[in-house]
Amino acid sequence: MATNKWAKEKAALKKVQLHFDFRQGILRALRHDAADININTSDMVRKIVELPYKKVQRTRLGLSFSSQDFIDLAKRYGLDHTAEKEIKRRVMEEINLYYHKQGRN
């Protein structure tokens, strides 16, 4: 089992990450098209150039919060800044409510 784990790690090391700078309109279209078919933006590029890609299993959005962000959000929600799980829950709730009010949920 451990050998299989290391084989996957070795294969991952052989991959090369490339960064692309697209015009704003193209990037917006890529994001929109990807969202419409429930794949991430990089997989949309892979689809267009006919490389294999996987459908998103669980849609997630990763955000980075600084210490100051947690302090600001805690103040906004009346919480302690160390209550990260509750802050995360409140952010999710606020975003869901924002789009619900717009009829876009």
Is residue 7 a part of any domain in this protein? no
Reported pTM: 0.60
Question: Quick check: is 78 in a domain?
Answer: yes
Look up residue 16 and give its DSSP letter: -
Per residue in 4-19, pLDDT (tens digit) is: 777 766 666 677 877 8
- Per-residue CA distances from 98 to 60, 70, 78 (Å): 18, 20, 19
Same domain, 54 and 29: yes
Residue 12 lies in a domain: no
CA dist 90 and 84 (Å) reads: 10
Pair 56, 74 in one domain? no
| pLDDT computed for residue 38 by the predictor | 87
Tokens 């890529």 correspond to: 30
Write out pLDDT tens, residues 47-87: 999 999 887 767 677 889 999 999 999 999 999 999 999 99
Number of domains in the chain: 2
Q: Which domain holds residue 96?
A: 67-101
CA–CA dist 28, 80 (Å, integer)? 37
Note whether residue 5 is domain-resident.
no
Q: Would 17 be classed as within a structural domain?
A: no
Same domain, 56 and 31: yes
**Measured between alpha carbons, how far is 104 from 1 in angstroms, rounded to an integer?**
45
